[in-house]
Amino acid sequence: MSKKTVKENDKEVSKNYVGLARKYRPQTFEEVIGQPHIVRTLKKAVETNHVAPAYLFIGSRGLGKTTMARILAKALNCEKGITSTPCGKCESCIEISRSNHIDVLEIDAASNTGIDNVRETIIQSVSTVPAKGRYKVFIIDETHMLSAQAFGALLKTIEEPPSHVVFIMATTEGHKVPSPIRSRCLRFDFRPVSSDELTERLKKIAKAESIDIEESAVRLICEYSEGGVRDAISALDMVRAYSSDKINLKDTEEVLGAIPSVSIEKLMNSIAVADSENAENILKELWEFGVDTSEVMRALLFAFRKELFDVIRGNDKNFKKGRIVRSIESILFSMERTRYSRHPLIELELLIAKLSSISNDEKTLKELYEKLLNYETFKSIREDTAIEPEQKTVKKIETSREWDKKKLLSIFRKEEFFSELKAASPNSEKYCRDAEISIPKDGTLKLLFKDKTLFERFEKDHKAIADIKHAIEFVQTGKFHIEFELSAQSKPQQIQKELNFEDEKSSDKSKAEDLDPEIEKIKRLFGADSVEIVKE
């Protein structure tokens, strides 16, 4: 769905109309939301007269870097004196807010990348004293866009800055600022504002402006702004212009170009009960409607996030916590992969199939471990078993309540791993079918290839390595490192062998394993196919 043009507002628009984002731009440190760590440090620096000669503000757009820089400039140049609470009413404060103070220079590096411009606007004016304020403040936006020569000139200045000069460099890409500059600046990282803080802020503005808006609409705006205050307030401005009555969720969805929440709700219900036919129909509808697949994934991500919060708050819903966590992991993985995929719709369909197949009852490894520790479980297995185990074995189980944890963690949930991998890519799965797999120690999955050609092909197949990493981390829960090597016993005829993926078969199953009675118990508990004991 494409964004709709905002309708002409029925109300008369004043000639001096000021956008909400500008009207509600913070004018003091107290009004800034979401960056308490920066506010505290800057206020203290001003109060104790320890202002650094150069600051670097890093963070995505719309988080208030320039606004913070202007507040600092006001704190230093307010006619009341150097203060952490600039008055906002004196000539200096007003001029700084309007970006026309003679001693506060705002430079947009995106449009001033030449060395001459930097020399003119910075280096030369640095040598003169402030015309009316106490400090000359240089606010450089998009600092990373400066040319290498411009950075060189800037570096010379900040190496020995005059005491009346403060540089505030803002950038969305801190890593692109040369390290000699970075190391001479006091660095602040701007965080995305939390959804709750943003919601509070929007509600306050709506109240002050007599904007009647549903709570769910405010929430949607906040989700869409991804922590950016300016974007959120601008979006509120847009929906206000769109509807003259009470702003509801539907209007807001249309203005933001969001997927109708009704469709996402239906899709979530289908996923919950694994109704793939219904899910497929909803997807088809959305697709015909022109909805972008990444938008659907994003909407699902937020829907599962909401489910998670509901579960944490104790409201039991369609999904259990473990399932929600795994679903979110799957969505994030698919979102990342879809960025490089030429088949986004297939990626989305695959994701829906995966989300539907994640069971609510699925146990995490920790849960399985706890289950195994539970004596009652063993007792029930013993009772269920038709053939009574030897007397000696029973006694051993009854007395050994403390299970060997290390042994348990090395249980490779093989079948689940393969099914997860197959869902991601049949090709990636086939590599693993050919290689000998082991988990020699926690956090490592080792692939031992017998076939040199296949090994060489695998080495270059970054997608397969990523798929395997994701599958093992998904199944075993935790961070894994993938190691692979060619078996010393790889034979020449195998190297020459023409690869035929279709004929590859698992050679692991034929391996004889220890008939350890404890291992046999685990096998009975989870099914022999899903258990493989890996020797250390």
List interacting residues with Zn ion (CB under 5 A).
Answer: 78, 86-87, 90, 93
Least distance in angstroms from the C-beta of 25 to Zn ion: 16
Chain position carrying tokens 């009413």: 89
Question: Please, which residue, 93 or 118, has the CB nearer to Zn ion?
Answer: 93
Distance CA 187, CA 55 (A): 6
DSSP string, 34-65: S-HHHHHHHHHHHHTT---SEEEEE--TTSSH
- Would you say 62 or 86 has its CB closer to Zn ion? 86
Distance of CA 267 to the CA centre of its chain: 23
Q: Judged by CB, which is closer to Zn ion: 54, or 73? A: 73
H helices of 160-194, in order, are 179-182
CB of 112 to Zn ion, least distance (A): 28
Looking at the Cβ atoms of 74 and 201, the one nearer to Zn ion is: 74
Q: How far is the CB of 75 from Zn ion (least distance, A)?
A: 9
Running DSSP on this structure, what letter comes out for residue 10? S
CA distance 63 to 34: 9
Q: Of 90 and 353, which CB lies nearer to Zn ion in the complex structure? A: 90
- Minimum distance, C-beta of residue 336 to Zn ion, in the bound complex (Å): 48
Residues 6+ apart with CB under 8 A from 411: 522, 531, 532, 533, 534
- The single residue listed with the structure tokens 């866009």 is 145
Task: Name 8's Cβ contacts closer than 8 Å, sequence gap at least 6.
Answer: none
Give CA–CA dist 114/343, Å, rounded. Answer: 42
Using the Cα atoms of residue 192, residue 193, residue 194 and residue 199 in order, give the sign of their dihedral. negative
Which CB sits closer to Zn ion, 69 or 296?
Answer: 69
Q: Which residues contact 413 (CB under 8 A, 6 or more apart)?
A: 365, 475, 476, 530, 531
Full DSSP string of 469-502: HHHHHHHHTS--EEEEEE-TT--HHHHHSPP-GG
Q: Least distance (Å) from Zn ion to the CB of residue 92?
A: 5
Closest distance to Zn ion from the beta carbon of 343 (Å) = 59
Nearer to Zn ion, 32 or 54 (CB): 32
Measured distance CA(502)–CA(430) in Å, rounded: 8
Q: Which is nearer to Zn ion, 78 or 170 (CB)?
A: 78
Q: What is the DSSP letter of 516?
A: -
Check if the beta carbon of residue 138 is closer than 8 Å to that of residue 101. no
d(CA 221, CA 239): 9
Question: Closest approach of Cβ 91 to Zn ion, in Å?
Answer: 8
Q: Toward Zn ion, which CB reaches closer, 78 or 198?
A: 78
79/214 with CB nearer Zn ion: 79
Minimal distance, residue 88 CB to Zn ion, in Å? 6
Tokens of 41: 């440090």
**Which residues on adjacent β-strands are paired with residue 165?**
136
E strands, 93-135, in order: 104-108
Cβ proximity of 244 and 7 under 8 Å: no
Nearest-approach distance from CB 90 to Zn ion, in angstroms: 3
Distance of CA 174 to CAs 57, 111, 159, 178, 265, Å?
Answer: 8, 18, 19, 9, 39
CB of 213 vs Zn ion, minimal distance in Å: 34
Q: Are the C-beta atoms of residues 133 and 105 closer than 8 Å to each other?
A: no
Would you say 357 and 326 are in contact if contact means Cβ atoms under 8 Å apart? Answer: no
CB of 18 to Zn ion, least distance (A): 21
Whichever of 90 and 241 has its CB closer to Zn ion, that residue is 90
| CA triple 66-69-71, angle to 5 deg | 115
Nearer to Zn ion, 88 or 344 (CB): 88
Residue of 182, 225, 179, 180 whose CA lies nearest to 201: 225
CB of 163 to Zn ion, least distance (A): 22
